[in-house]
């Protein structure tokens, strides 16, 4: 059984095939994910997990790594 973080890593790899997003480096401050690609990612996450990510949740902290994205998804799935 895959975890939310595993699923998020798969979405990251599918959405950004040319980027190295496997590390725990901060994806936002490293420039791996910019505002436009974050919007694409939000759409993928919403479709995959059946959640709605509000603009208030679209913070650099929530999108820093696969781990923080997975934590956001888990929180929104419980709401």
Task: Domain ranges for the chain, please list them.
Answer: 4-78
Of 68 and 22, which is predicted with more confidence? 68
Tens of pLDDT, residues 40-77: 999 999 999 999 999 999 999 999 999 999 999 999 99
pTM: 0.89
What CATH code is assigned to 4-78? Answer: 1.10.1200.10
Over residues 11-30, mean pLDDT: 80
For residue 57, with 0-12 CB atoms within 10 Å meaning exposed, 13-18 middle and 19 or more buried, which class applies? Answer: middle
Ordered alpha helix ranges (H), the chain: 4-15, 35-49, 66-78
What is residue 22's predicted lDDT score, i.e. its pLDDT?
62
């Amino acid at each position: 059984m895959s975890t939310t973080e595993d699923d998020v890593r798969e979405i990251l790899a599918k959405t950004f095939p040319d980027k190295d997003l496997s590390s725990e480096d901060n994806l936002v401050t490293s420039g791996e994910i910019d505002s436009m690609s974050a919007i694409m990612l939000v759409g993928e996450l919403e479709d995959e997990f059946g959640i709605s990510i509000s603009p208030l949740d679209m913070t650099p902290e929530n999108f820093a790594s696969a781990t923080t994205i997975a934590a956001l998804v888990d929180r929104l799935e419980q709401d």
